[in-house]
Amino acid sequence: MSKKLIGVDLGGTTIKFAILTAEGEIQQKWSVETNVLDEGSHIVPDIIESINHHLDLFGMTPDQFIGIGMGTPGTVDIENGTVEAAFNLNWKEKQELKKQIEEGTGMKFAVDNDANVAALGERWKGAGENDNEVTFVTLGTGVGGGVITNGEMVHGAGAGGEIGHVNVEPGGFLCTCGNKGCLETYASATGVVRVARHMAEEFAGNSELKQMLDNGEEISSKLVFDLAKADDVLAKLVVDKVCYYLGLACANIGSLLNPSFIVIGGGVSAAGSFLLDQVDAYFKKYAFPSVKKTTVLKLAELGNDAGVIGAASLALKFNN
């Protein structure tokens, strides 16, 4: 029997696990809650215990696996298999993931950050069609992503792929990173709401979105897209602005890297082709002519599975 992979997607709320074939087919999935108490000190033991428990359950042994791959929030040292500054896990100190998990499970272990791992997943088994040139942009609470060139993840000097911090409006909205005008401040779920609030202030026409904001109701990026689909004038202006910034960023990624695919995922991308078509129009407006013809914008296809699939692919390097 050919050996298998384990993929782990560590998030602030749940830890997702999967057992996959070496070809990336998911055979088993499960998840546990993330216990961030006591400075996150339970997380690594919980991961080890959950893997060992499920191997027992399935009657499997470590020698049947190529290895374990994991995606984690924070700043990852890939060489040493450690992570720092994962604040939503309450990890204040550097975590020796590789050392602990290899000792605890008897399997080889590789790690990268969560956005990179999702990019690897979409590239391998999703919208990236296993191409060597794929950029992934994820529109969630923040905007993240991952860049794959010549079939390899780009880490640069460690912080490659900070797509959310590409500046699309110098002097624009203040970002959590301290700069002004980062893509994240316009195109994340919270960014969309911020754009809506900002544009509502100067908007005088008839709009349900405007009324809701004036009434102090809670709004979400989903609501803004839903209202835009229903022809709300202000909501359409907001979506146009968000898509302009995304299209401009995609055009500049295109001119620089000319990926075969720019894959857009994350919660905001649930707006589907309504979002993608408008982003694509601005992409085509700003991209270099030969890039418009060769770089294709697509929606992500794997949803929540991108993480475990991409994570598992990290362990393929142990396959020999």
Evaluate whether 263 touches 126 at the Cβ level (below 8 Å): yes
149 binds its own copies (CB under 8 A): yes
Q: How many helices (H) and strands (E) does the chain have?
A: 12, 12
Out of 35, 52, 64, 75, the residue judged to bind its own copies by CB under 8 A: 75
Q: Which of residues 172-231 bind its own copies (CB under 8 A)?
A: 177-179, 181
309 binds its own copies (CB under 8 A): no
Out of 28, 52, 100, 258, the residue judged to bind its own copies by CB under 8 A: 258
Backbone phi, psi, residue 252, to 5°: -75, -35
166 binds its own copies (CB under 8 A): yes
263 vs 149: CA distance, rounded Å: 14
What is the token pair recorded at 297?
């914008």
Count CB atoms within 10 A of the CB of residue 58. Answer: 12
Min dist. Cβ of residue 257 to its own copies (A): 5
The span of 2-10, 62-70, 99-107, 142-150 binding its own copies (CB under 8 A) equals 142-150
The span of 7-15, 56-64, 164-172, 199-207 binding its own copies (CB under 8 A) equals 164-172
Which amino acid makes up residue 294?
Answer: T
Query: Which is nearest to 74 in space by CA: 61, 90, 64, 87?
Result: 87
295 binds its own copies (CB under 8 A): yes
133 binds its own copies (CB under 8 A): yes
The span of 12-20, 224-232, 250-258, 309-317 binding its own copies (CB under 8 A) equals 250-258
Which amino acid makes up residue 107?
Answer: M
How far from the centroid of its chain's Cα atoms is residue 58's Cα?
30
82 binds its own copies (CB under 8 A): no
Count CB atoms within 10 A of the CB of residue 96. Answer: 15
318 binds its own copies (CB under 8 A): no
Evaluate whether 32 touches 15 at the Cβ level (below 8 Å): yes
Q: What are the residues binding its own copies (CB under 8 A)?
A: 75, 133, 147, 149-150, 152, 154-163, 165-167, 170, 177-179, 181, 248, 251-253, 255-260, 285-291, 294-295
